[in-house]
Each structure stands twice: as structure tokens, then as C-alpha cells.
Structure 1
Amino acid sequence: MNPITPAEVPVSVWATGQKPSQVQRRGRYLPESMKHPGKMLPAIAARTIATYTRTGEYVLDPMCGIGTTLVEAAHLGRNGIGVEYERRWAQMAAANLHLAHRQGATGSGLVIGGDSRRIIRLVPEQVRGRIALVLTSPPYGSSTHGHVCSTRDSGEDGVTKQNNRYSTDRDNLAHRRLPDLLEGFGQILDGCAELLVPGGVVAVTVRPIRVKGELIDLPGQVVQTAERSGLVLVDQLVALLCGLRDGRLVNRASFFQKLEARRARDRGVPACATAHEDLLIFHRACDLPGSPR
């Protein structure tokens, strides 16, 4: 047996946080894009698309937000399709796609407004069964920590936050309690699985969350949800949100993450700020070797 060379060893940790999010987006996305509080990191999207698709193939994001998946797909010569429930962000995704094409991106892009729980009806008929990659992230709720605004910035006493809410529509799935949210996400995965080309991939980027101080294994719950949709976990990668410098981690955690971790440690809970996202890779069970057709 020939020894495995380092180049042949699958890389399970991706250095996707070498640059901060705002630097990764600078000049590539409209500045207003930063107002979305739950953006996918461009480096995660770009590496996932480059790894699991080829030029000219279709990439789908059923909850595309400001269009990160679509923009990175277009720059890589892939054809992106995104569905977004919130009209504001759908318009932003379309504007970011337009910017990408002005900058020379060769892949096509389409943004569809609608509820992805009915994604089969929303996606054009001609691409059904031709999606090579579904890349998305589940909603974490109707708001996130957002951005810090200090006294120097706002003129008000204390630290405030802004851009922390991306939905006020009560019909948005993000407003549901976690069990209902996961049920809705499962409905989305059901539809996405039907749209895949044989051998296609579903990739979900997700991190643990805290609900009222309790750490919730959201990646684990997403795996269980995907399994009920006929998907099988075939790989679990680490996409770093921090930088790597001389063998050390460069913390890029938000102010609020650090604050929560500090408060938890003060209570005797050994908490750390999140430094990575899990990138969960799924295939349809029916596409795996030995599965009944």
C-alpha cells in the first residue's frame, strides 16, 4: 500500500476566517449588506462551492439573505438560485448579484421572493433535478446580537446595538420556537432534496446557540432534522470564524459573544466564544452505494 501524501489527506478544518467579515465583503458587496445580522461568511460559501461543484453547475440557497451564496457562485462561474422570504433582503441579494456581474462574474443568478417551505413550486421547472449543491444556514431566530454602537458613535450613554433584527413579519419561520423552526427547516430540506441532481450535495453551515443562557446543540438537531428528510451526514467540517496567525487563533468573536462567555464564566460555567461553524455535508440516502432505488 502506498503511503498517503499530505496533499491527499482530506482537510477537515478550513481557514475561512483569515480576514474579518467586513473585509471579505468590502468592494464585493454593497455597504448596506452589513445591516443583515445573520450573514454567511463569504469565504465559507466560496470554498464550499469550489469544493462540491464544477463550472456551470447549479447552486441553490433556499434562505439566501443578502445573496452571499449567489454572489460567490457567480464569481466562480456557477449558476446560483436563491429564495428569500423577506422582500428587503431579496432586493439586496439581487443588487449584490448585479454588482457581481458588473465586476465580471460569469455565473448567472436568480433571486426568488417566497417561502422556501414551498420551494418545489418556486424554483423554475427547467432546473428541478439539476441542482448540484444546496448551501444554506438555518435561521437562528428573528434577531441576533447585531452590531455594537458605543457612546462615542451614538452620543448616548452605554453600549447599544443596531442591525440586530432581520424580520418583523410574524409569519417568518424565524419567529417560531426552536422545535417549530426545525420542523419548518425540515420541510425546506424535503423540497431541496427533490431538486438535487443524482449525487448532489446539501451543505448546511450552523453553530451552537444559547437560549436563555443554555447552550443548544443546534448542529446536532439539524443533523436529526436532515435525516428525517432522507439525507445522510457524510462529512462534518470545521469552518473557522477566527484567523490563524503563527499557530495561534485570532479571536474574531463579537462583543456580545465575548460578553456572554465572560458572564457565564463568572457563574462558574466553562464557556467560550464561538470560533467556528460546523459545515454539515449530506447526500440523499437513495444516492449512496447499496441503497435501493
Structure 2
Amino acid sequence: MAEVTTSVWATGQQPSRVQRKGRYVRESMRHPGKMLPSIAARVIETYTEPGELVVDPMCGIGTTLVEAAHLGRHAAGVEYEEKWARLAVANLGHARQQGATGFGRVMAGDSRHIARLLPDLLGRAALVLTSPPYGAATHGHIRSTRDTGEPGVRKWNQRYSADRENLAHQQLPHLLEGFGRILDGCAELLRPGGVAAITVRPYRVRGELVDLPGHVHQLAEKAGLVFADRIVCLLCGLGDGRLLNRASFFQLHEARKAWARGTPIHAIAHEDLLVFRRLPSASATGQADVWPMHARRRSGQYSQAPLIPGDGQ
């Protein structure tokens, strides 16, 4: 297994849309909070070996699962919103058509109960890779006056969900309580010595910086996971001795307004990757370093074209 040799990864050399073009189905762009494929691939390649199991409890359109499949790992994901779960299935099928050798499984459900949703995977995962939501509405896609010549800003694809039970709708205390429950369950899915990697960045509410990485760090340790590393995953590009800006319109807009008020804030240009390990100990489920896919194919939940259990196909 590769060792981390630096605390900074240049994962923003290409914009997200370029990283996804042709690798994901076009409808994937509707999701407002996608993980950067280059981050997912780098984490999976660093912390797992081919044939091992990767789990994402909040898988969205399946970025973690797709990158795992392309790298010859097997993957399981849970997604609260069925519309995103179905897109994750479509992206896994697309990956198989492109030659990905890993298998994937997607379940639509509430990951606050993930240990009950995936009881057959307890103690088997080599890696849990995920990211928490940042609120009910994100920036999504926008057209500003600069683009249209018309006053105002038009937004679309900026919402995770209309379901008020979705964690994305919760205020910070409830969001953290729910994400803590998810991490508790994920700790049960990890094999001894397995890795939990969480990508998260601070964000601003009415100009105030919310230290979401710090909160997540505390939640992971409360779940019994041991802190192993912090890696800065650049969202900007590096080239010709300068940074290539990838900040969104709203990030730059908020920074400019703050500077005009005399508050010199800067646009965030990185994700924190927080890495934790489950302490090595005897596993209640026995040794299972490699996911025995063929032993479970009879259930219908694993296949060449992965399905959402219960979708009738």
C-alpha cells in the first residue's frame, strides 16, 4: 500500500467538469455537492489494494464508487435520495461499460442506520470515504450579469433535496449529531486497521467561518476512530509558477464584499482530507480483507450492472 509522502495533493489541476466529462453520465451534473473525482481516486489508490472494499455512506451520484471500480476495488454506497442513488447506479453501469473491473452496490436509505442497512459488510471495509453535506442549498450552477448581460443572478441545480428529513436541511447541531451517528455505523463497517477518510472544508454563514473540519474531527474520534493524517487537497490548479483559480462565483463575490467592508477574507481553495483508522483488534466477523463478491452474487444485490435493491429489475 502506498504511503503518504506529502501533506498537499494537487487534485485541482483540471476543473471538476473536465474530470467528469465522458466518465460520468451527463445527468450527474444536476447534483450540487459532488466529490472531486481526483480526490476520490487518490484516496482509494493510497489507502487500499485492488479487490478490497470501499464504502461511501453518503454516496450521492457515486463518485467514490465509480473511482473505486475503475481502480479494481469493490464498492458499496448508501444514498438518502433515491434520484441520486439511481444516478449512482447509472454511473457504475457506465464505468463497467468503460472497462472498470470493480463491482458496485447502491442502496437508497438513511445512513444514520448504516450498520443495519449493510449488516453483511460489518468489519469488512478497507476504506470508508465520504463528505458531509453543507446545508440545504448550495451554489449549484449560476449565470451572473457578466454572463447574460441582464441584472441579477440565476441559480439552478443548487438543492440536494426537498425532503426535510435529509441531513442537508438540518442546522449545524442536528447535522453534526446525524453525521456522528453515520460515523458510528461506519466504524462498525471498517475492518481492524481500516481507514476512514473524510473530505470537508470550512464554510461561511453571513461572513462567519464555520470550522466544519474541526467538528468532524471531534465526531470521528468520538466514534472510536484514531486520527492518522490531515492532507490538503487543492481545488485550485498549479501551473507556470502561479495558482489557477477554481473558486466559484459566490466565493469570489463574498470575498469582494468582505474586502469592501474592510474584512480581508479569502476564497477557500482546498478541501481538508481527514484520515482516521480503526484500531487493529480481533474482528467479530472474522478475517475478510478481500470482499468475496462471487459468494454474494446469488442475492441479486451485486451484478455486472449494479442495481438498487428492490427496484424490480
TM-score between the two structures when normalised by the length of structure 1: 0.92
Q: Where does 1:85-104 land on structure 2 (aligned, <5 Å)?
A: 85-104=80-99
- Which residue is equivalent to 1:228? 222
1:132 aligns with 2:95: no
Change beyond 3 A, Cα 1:154–1:163: farther
CA distance in 2, matches of 1:197, 1:251: 39
**1:218 Cα deviation after fit:** 0.7
Report what 1:20 is aligned to: 15
The equivalent position to 2:201 in structure 1, one of 187, 199, 207, is 207
SS of equivalent to 2:13:
coil
Are residues 1:59 and 2:50 paired?
Answer: no
What is the CA distance between 1:150 and its match in structure 2? 3.9
Tell me how large the CA RMSD over aligned residues is.
1.7
**In structure 1, C-alpha distance between the alignment counterparts of 2:265 and 2:149, rounded to whole Å:** 32
Q: Deviations over 1:177-229 (max 9, x none)?
A: 10110011000000000111110000000000111221111101110111111
Q: Which runs of 5+ in 1 are unaligned?
A: 1-6, 289-293
Q: In structure 1, how many angstroms separate the alpha carbons of the residues matched to 2:230 and 2:106? A: 28
Aligned residues: 280
- Indicate how the Cα distance of structure 1 residues 105 and 13 shifts in structure 2: closer, same or farther if over 3 A, else same: same
Deviation at 1:287, TM superposition (A): 2.8
Listed as ranges, the gaps of 5+ residues in structure 2 are 282-313
Once the two structures are superposed, the pairs formed by residues 192-203 of structure 1 within 5 Å of their partners are 192-203=186-197
24, 33, 45: which one pairs with 2:40?
A: 45
1:8 CA displacement? 8.2
Amino acid at match of 2:243: L
Deviation at 1:255, TM superposition (A): 0.5
Alignment of 1:62-77 (within 5 A): 62-77=57-72
One-letter code of the match for 2:234? Answer: L
Contact 1:37–1:145 (CA under 8 A) maintained in structure 2: yes
Provide the secondary structure at the position in 1 that maps to 2:142: strand
Identity of aligned residues (%): 70
Match for residue 298 of structure 2? Answer: none
Query: Could you tell me whether the CA contact under 8 Å between 2:24 and 2:94 is conserved in 1?
Result: yes
CA–CA distance in structure 2, aligned partners of residues 26 and 134 of structure 1: 25
* Aligned residues of 2:4 and 2:46 also touching (Cα < 8 A): no
Q: 2:179 aligns with which of 180, 185, 190?
A: 185
Amino acid aligned to 1:172: N
Secondary structure at 2:41's aligned position in 1? helix
- C-alpha contact 1:149 1:162 (8 A) present in aligned 2: no
Report what 2:286 is aligned to.
Answer: none
Deviation at 1:159, TM superposition (A): 2.1
How far apart in 2 are the matches of 1:212 and 1:236? Answer: 27
Q: Which amino acid aligns with 1:187?
A: R
Matched residues in 1 for 2:144 and 2:137: separation? 20
Residue 80 of structure 1 pairs with residue 82 of structure 2: no
Tell me the equivalent position of 2:302. none
Whole-angstrom distance in 2 between the partners of 1:216 and 1:150: 26
Post-superposition Cα deviations, 1:25-64, rounded to whole Å, max 9, x if no partner, equal: 0000011111111000000000000000000000000000
Structure number with greater CO (CA < 8 Å, separation at least 6) is: 2
Question: Partners of 2:146 and 2:228 in 1: how far apart?
Answer: 48
